[in-house]
Amino acid sequence: MESNYKNIIKNAYKSASLIKDEGKIATYIPELANVNPEMFGVHITKTDGTNYGEGNNLEKFSIQSIVKVLSLSLAYKILGEQLWERVDVEPSGAKFDSLLLLETNKGIPRNPFINAGAIVICDVLISNLGDAKVEFLAYVRELSGLPTLTYSDKIADSEKATGYRNVALCNFIKSFGNIKNEPSEVLDFYFDMCSLEMSCKELSYTFTFLANKGKTLEGKKILKKSKCKRINALMLTCGFYDESGEFAFKVGLPGKSGVGGGIVALYPNNFAIAVWSPKLNPHGNSYKGMHLLEEVTTHSELSIF
Amino acid sequence: MESNYKNIIKNAYKSASLIKDEGKIATYIPELANVNPEMFGVHITKTDGTNYGEGNNLEKFSIQSIVKVLSLSLAYKILGEQLWERVDVEPSGAKFDSLLLLETNKGIPRNPFINAGAIVICDVLISNLGDAKVEFLAYVRELSGLPTLTYSDKIADSEKATGYRNVALCNFIKSFGNIKNEPSEVLDFYFDMCSLEMSCKELSYTFTFLANKGKTLEGKKILKKSKCKRINALMLTCGFYDESGEFAFKVGLPGKSGVGGGIVALYPNNFAIAVWSPKLNPHGNSYKGMHLLEEVTTHSELSIF
Amino acid sequence: MESNYKNIIKNAYKSASLIKDEGKIATYIPELANVNPEMFGVHITKTDGTNYGEGNNLEKFSIQSIVKVLSLSLAYKILGEQLWERVDVEPSGAKFDSLLLLETNKGIPRNPFINAGAIVICDVLISNLGDAKVEFLAYVRELSGLPTLTYSDKIADSEKATGYRNVALCNFIKSFGNIKNEPSEVLDFYFDMCSLEMSCKELSYTFTFLANKGKTLEGKKILKKSKCKRINALMLTCGFYDESGEFAFKVGLPGKSGVGGGIVALYPNNFAIAVWSPKLNPHGNSYKGMHLLEEVTTHSELSIF
Amino acid sequence: MESNYKNIIKNAYKSASLIKDEGKIATYIPELANVNPEMFGVHITKTDGTNYGEGNNLEKFSIQSIVKVLSLSLAYKILGEQLWERVDVEPSGAKFDSLLLLETNKGIPRNPFINAGAIVICDVLISNLGDAKVEFLAYVRELSGLPTLTYSDKIADSEKATGYRNVALCNFIKSFGNIKNEPSEVLDFYFDMCSLEMSCKELSYTFTFLANKGKTLEGKKILKKSKCKRINALMLTCGFYDESGEFAFKVGLPGKSGVGGGIVALYPNNFAIAVWSPKLNPHGNSYKGMHLLEEVTTHSELSIF
- Could you tell me if C255 and C239 are in contact, meaning their C-beta atoms sit under 8 angstroms apart? yes
Complex ipTM: 0.93
In angstroms, the Cα distances linking A273 to A71, A203, A241, A292 are: 19, 8, 19, 11
Which positions of C make up the binding site for substrate?
65, 115, 159, 166, 190, 241, 259
A270 is annotated as contributing to ligand binding: no
Cβ distance A171 to D167 less than 8 Å, yes or no, reads yes
**Confidence at residue B30, expressed as pLDDT on a 0 to 100 scale:** 85
Q: Which residues of C touch B175 (CB under 8 A)?
A: 164-165, 168
Q: Minimal Cα distance from B182: which residue of C?
A: C164
Q: Which residues of A touch B232 (CB under 8 A)?
A: 305
Q: Minimal Cα distance from D92: which residue of C?
A: C93
**Confidence at residue C12, expressed as pLDDT on a 0 to 100 scale:** 96
Q: What average pLDDT does the segment D240-244 reach?
A: 89
Per-residue pLDDT of chain C (305 residues; tens, 9 = 90+): 556 889 999 999 999 999 999 999 988 788 888 899 999 999 999 999 999 999 999 999 999 999 999 999 999 999 999 999 999 999 886 665 667 678 778 899 999 999 999 999 999 999 999 999 999 999 999 999 999 999 999 999 998 888 999 999 999 999 999 999 999 999 999 999 999 999 999 999 999 999 999 999 999 999 999 999 999 999 999 999 889 999 999 999 999 999 999 999 999 999 999 999 999 999 999 999 999 999 999 888 788 99
Q: Which residues of D touch C303 (CB under 8 A)?
A: 229, 233
* φ, ψ of residue B216 in degrees (nearest 5): -70, 170
Give helix D132-144 / helix D67-79 axis angle, nearest 10°: 110
Cβ distance C268 to D305 less than 8 Å, yes or no, reads yes
DSSP symbols for A36-95: -TT--EEEEEETTS-EEEEESTTS-EE-GGGHHHHHHHHHHHHHGGGGGGTS--S--SS-
Regions of chain A short of the pLDDT cut 70: 1-3, 93-98, 100
Identify the residue among D240, D283, D305 best suited for mutation to test binding to C, counting C beta carbons within 10 A and taking the highest. D305
List, for residues C57-111, the tens digit of each pLDDT value: 999 999 999 999 999 999 999 999 999 999 999 988 666 566 767 877 889 999 9
Nearest CB among A103, A171, A175 relative to D171 is that of A171
A190 has catalytic annotation: yes
The C-alpha atoms of residue A304 and residue A254 are separated, in whole angstroms, by 9
Cβ distance D249 to C242 less than 8 Å, yes or no, reads no
Q: Which residues of D touch C238 (CB under 8 A)?
A: 245
Nearest CB among A103, A168, A175 relative to D171 is that of A168
* φ, ψ of residue A28 in degrees (nearest 5): -75, -20
How far D214 CA lies from chain C's nearest CA (Å)? 12
Q: Minimal Cα distance from B304: which residue of A?
A: A304
How far A111 CA lies from chain D's nearest CA (Å)? 19
Q: Minimal Cα distance from D94: which residue of A?
A: A103
The amino acid occupying position A205 is Y
**Confidence at residue A195, expressed as pLDDT on a 0 to 100 scale:** 96
Residues of C at the D interface (Cβ-Cβ below 8 Å)? 88-94, 101, 110-111, 225-226, 228-230, 232-234, 236-238, 242-246, 248-250, 252, 254, 268, 298, 301, 303-305
Nearest CB among B94, B226, B303 relative to A93 is that of B94
List, for residues D283-303, the tens digit of each pLDDT value: 999 999 999 999 999 888 788
Which positions of D make up the binding site for substrate?
65, 115, 159, 166, 190, 241, 259
List, for residues D123-156, the tens digit of each pLDDT value: 999 999 999 999 999 999 999 999 999 999 999 9
Identify the residue among C114, C170, C172 best suited for mutation to test binding to B, counting B beta carbons within 10 A and taking the highest. C172
Helical ranges in A129-211 per DSSP H: 132-144, 153-162, 164-175, 183-194, 200-206, 208-211
Which domains are delineated in chain B?
A: 5-64+198-300 (3.40.710.10), 66-194 (3.40.710.10)
**Confidence at residue B97, expressed as pLDDT on a 0 to 100 scale:** 62
**Confidence at residue D241, expressed as pLDDT on a 0 to 100 scale:** 85
Nearest CB among C93, C226, C303 relative to D92 is that of C93
**Confidence at residue B101, expressed as pLDDT on a 0 to 100 scale:** 73
Cβ distance D99 to A103 less than 8 Å, yes or no, reads yes
The C-alpha atoms of residue D258 and residue B94 are separated, in whole angstroms, by 35
Helix H or strand E segment including C38: none
- Could you tell me if D95 and D284 are in contact, meaning their C-beta atoms sit under 8 angstroms apart? yes
A128 is annotated as contributing to ligand binding: no
Name the catalytic one among A5, A46, A67, A68.
A68
Mean pLDDT check: name the lowest of B118-127, B238-247, D51-60: B238-247
Cβ distance A101 to B110 less than 8 Å, yes or no, reads no
Cβ distance A174 to D183 less than 8 Å, yes or no, reads no
C140 has catalytic annotation: no
Which of the other chains make 3 or more beta carbon contacts under 8 angstroms with chain A? B, D
Cβ distance C167 to B164 less than 8 Å, yes or no, reads no
The C-alpha atoms of residue D28 and residue D25 are separated, in whole angstroms, by 9
Nearest CB among B237, B242, B243 relative to A245 is that of B237
Q: What angle do CA A231, A233, A238 make, to 5 degrees?
A: 90
Identify the residue among A164, A186, A190 best suited for mutation to test binding to D, counting D beta carbons within 10 A and taking the highest. A164
How far A167 CA lies from chain D's nearest CA (Å)? 6
B68 has catalytic annotation: yes
Q: What average pLDDT does the segment D250-269 reach?
A: 96
Identify the residue among D29, D97, D102, D103 best suited for mutation to test binding to A, counting A beta carbons within 10 A and taking the highest. D103
Q: What average pLDDT does the segment B8-12 reach?
A: 95
Nearest CB among A98, A164, A172 relative to D165 is that of A172
CB contacts < 8 A (C, D): 107
- Could you tell me if D32 and D155 are in contact, meaning their C-beta atoms sit under 8 angstroms apart? yes
D241 has catalytic annotation: yes
- Could you tell me if D115 and D169 are in contact, meaning their C-beta atoms sit under 8 angstroms apart? yes
Q: Mean pLDDT for chain D?
A: 94
Q: Kindly report whether the global pTM for this prediction surpasses the value 0.90.
A: yes
How far B291 CA lies from chain C's nearest CA (Å)? 31
List, for residues B29-63, the tens digit of each pLDDT value: 888 888 999 999 999 999 999 999 999 999 999 99
**Confidence at residue C102, expressed as pLDDT on a 0 to 100 scale:** 80
Residues of D at the A interface (Cβ-Cβ below 8 Å)? 98-100, 103, 164-165, 167-172, 174-175, 183
Provide the CA B157 distance to its chain's centre, in angstroms.
Answer: 20
Q: What average pLDDT does the segment B251-275 reach?
A: 97
Considering chain D, what percentage of its residues have pLDDT values greater than 70?
97
**Confidence at residue C4, expressed as pLDDT on a 0 to 100 scale:** 86
D139 has catalytic annotation: no
Q: Which residues of C touch D242 (CB under 8 A)?
A: 90
Q: What average pLDDT does the segment D78-91 reach?
A: 96
Q: Which residues of A touch D175 (CB under 8 A)?
A: 164-165, 168
Residue B26 pLDDT > 90 = no
Residues of D at the C interface (Cβ-Cβ below 8 Å)? 88-94, 101, 110-111, 225-226, 228-230, 232-234, 236-238, 242-246, 248-250, 252, 254, 268, 298, 301, 303-305
Residues of A at the D interface (Cβ-Cβ below 8 Å)? 98-100, 103, 164-165, 167-172, 174-175, 183
A232 is annotated as contributing to ligand binding: no
